[in-house]
Structure 1
């Protein structure tokens, strides 16, 4: 039986942007998250993909309350079956549940304080959330350091003494120390070398299996996403345009934007011919988005309906959702389809 751990409901996020030319002009509102809704299943890895500026990181930070959403809600399902309005928690209630949802940031060079030792960095969430004796804190930090592949004898050193991969292990240990049920990984391996990326991905998988953690994995690298994910949500200009299982999305995408992303996935066979889809036109401006489907200026399949009507995110297959007027009519290429066409 699968049960939800988180429900994101109609989340919106607006930023106020001041004009650089008109000093006294009122700031304009730019919507970077537009009515985002999805259900997260306990124990799964849901990846969120899309090009830079689509709102992936903003969504992750709004979920963990790293920034405030303009509207919407996040329903957190506790282990004992309660439903908590996570974004509205205050005081002791906030402290009680916020430790259950942690975040790993993109850049391990800037997410760790250079003035704190590794021991202090990892132990800080414990000290903030639990009333533990010093000996118990040392025991827990040592245990989690070993689980994440850190040398325990180096815990009194400072972050500058570690490589990028080791720093990301420190960040993972810090996120894991409170035994969270959900971790949001924001481009957690994009700043690392390819060989180190594989090590960190394998570490995240092992930790998920051992501690029954749920991941929201934010990334632009579809090869990694295909390897680690159970489901994938594709974002474009602040909206989710497709949401499906990994096999379904990579095998039979239902949105033209997803098809274009799939065409950029590198293939391990150098002799395999691959037709790359080059999107024409400029990336839409969030401050002045196109009418109708926001992807229509760059879509090869667009019609007048796409220009005039905003498509709703709807189910077009078993647990396969997409926001395209012609999802049932289009035959789009996925990664597996490309491989089959070369045989």
Structure 2
């Protein structure tokens, strides 16, 4: 795989008063490889949706860089000529026409398939809107592209003149996926893309996303809180807590051998479908702290069962402790934390 996007020291601070602010995203650094699915998980309010919006420039970052490599994952035949593209683009620094040219490569699927669709627009116009905003495509070509992408996501092209209220929740999310795909993006940020759907529909949409990735080579940043879905769809997983990445690893490794106490608590909360198997629940101490009243040292230390004085006074860095496995815990190499299988016991 080649590197599609490099996020370095990305920070977003929100001001709560004239003198006080808090970082919703705090010095986050990640890489996205072309064609992979990187999931970002954590409790509500941890900053994962804010991170997604920063990457697509839905909101402006306070500091940091998002470097995009447009040629990543693209293989050209010998002698093939095409528009020369820079090896790397500082996406957050782009303006005007330069931003419009690149924006079509980075799209987003939103959480609520109803509120994200304009009820006054037909499905055709909703899907076509990104094309009209980023290119001057002839009408016949635009119609062909919209019909093609509608069929690809499982929509009936004969229904394109209908309005969003005529469709079910799953169909509306297919409309949102078609809108994101119509510009042929390299990266799609899927922000809780299935959390508002019924379980049976969730499975259909997740399988659709995987099929589209296999066919089109799309890279996903998949934001979610349901770890059972994350385990199924992800190549790698990043765990966020109060705006910071506290663990990052390949999916199998993170679910089997977590290296941060917060990850262990999240895994213990994964629902167990087998009634004869019980999963031990590890409940963090206390309540989720206010983002404006953050602890010194490790942010998780007030709720951690393994915390020591070192944890309360010194901030741990996100460091590689095994091949491709990163953790921001002082005792990551010493603790024997339990994975998904070890937390389950037969009744």
In the superposition, the TM-score normalised over structure 1's length comes to 0.95
CA change 1:131–1:266 in 2 (3 A) is: same
**Equivalent pair of 2:276/2:346 in contact (CA under 8 Å):** no
Alignment partner, residue 169 of structure 1? 174
In structure 1, distance between residues paired with 2:278 and 2:103 = 48
Work out which of the residue numbers 50, 61, 69 in structure 2 matches 1:58.
Answer: 50
Using the TM superposition, give the Cα deviation of residue 27 of structure 1 relative to its aligned residue in structure 2, in angstroms: 4.7
CA distance in 1: counterparts of 2:139 and 2:320, whole angstroms: 52
Aligned to 1:22: none
Which blocks of at least 5 consecutive residues in structure 2 are unaligned? 72-84
Contact 1:242 1:322 in 2 (8 A): yes
Alignment partner, residue 35 of structure 2:
43
Deviations 1:86-138 (A, max 9, x none): 00001111111111000001011110001100000001111111211111111
| 2:187 matched residue in structure 1 | 182
SS in 1 for 2:119: coil
Cα displacement (A) at 1:291: 0.8
Offset, 1:236: 0.1
1:320 aligns with 2:320: no
Q: How does 1:286-297 map to 2 (within 5 A)?
A: 286-297=291-302
Match of residue 305, structure 2, among 295, 300, 307? 300
Query: Matched residue of 1:307: which SS?
Result: helix
Deviation at 1:179, TM superposition (A): 0.2
Q: Counterpart in 1 of 2:8? A: 9
Aligned counterpart, 2:117: 112
2:272–2:278 Cα contact (<8 Å) kept: no
Q: Is the 8 A contact 1:125 1:177 kept in 2?
A: yes
SS of 1:243's partner is strand
Structure 2 distance, partners of 1:273, 1:95, is 52
Equivalent residues in 2 for 1:1-343, closer than 5 Å: 2-18=1-17, 26-79=18-71, 82-339=87-344, 342=346
When residues 153 and 253 of structure 1 are mapped into structure 2, their CA distance, relative to the original with a 3 A threshold, is same
Instruction: Say which SS state the counterpart of residue 226 (structure 1) adopts.
Output: helix
Q: CA RMSD in A?
A: 1.2
Taking the aligned partners of 1:182 and 1:84, their CA distance within structure 2 comes to: 14
Cα drift, residue 338 of structure 1: 3.1
Q: How many residues were matched structurally?
A: 334
Shift of 1:337: 2.6
Match of 1:21 in 2: none
Q: TM-score, normalised by structure 2?
A: 0.94
What secondary structure, in the 3-state scheme, does the structure 2 residue paired with 1:13 have? strand
- Structure 1: 5+ residue stretches without partners: 19-25
Q: Distance in 2 between matches of 1:81 and 1:40?
A: 18
Verify the 8 A CA contact 1:241 1:313 in the aligned structure 2: yes
| 1:284–1:294 CA contact under 8 A, matched in 2 | no
Q: Is 2:25–2:244's contact at 8 Å kept on the other side of the alignment? A: yes
Residues 6 and 67, structure 2, Cα contact 8 Å, conserved in 1? yes
**Partners of 2:59 and 2:45 in 1: how far apart?**
16
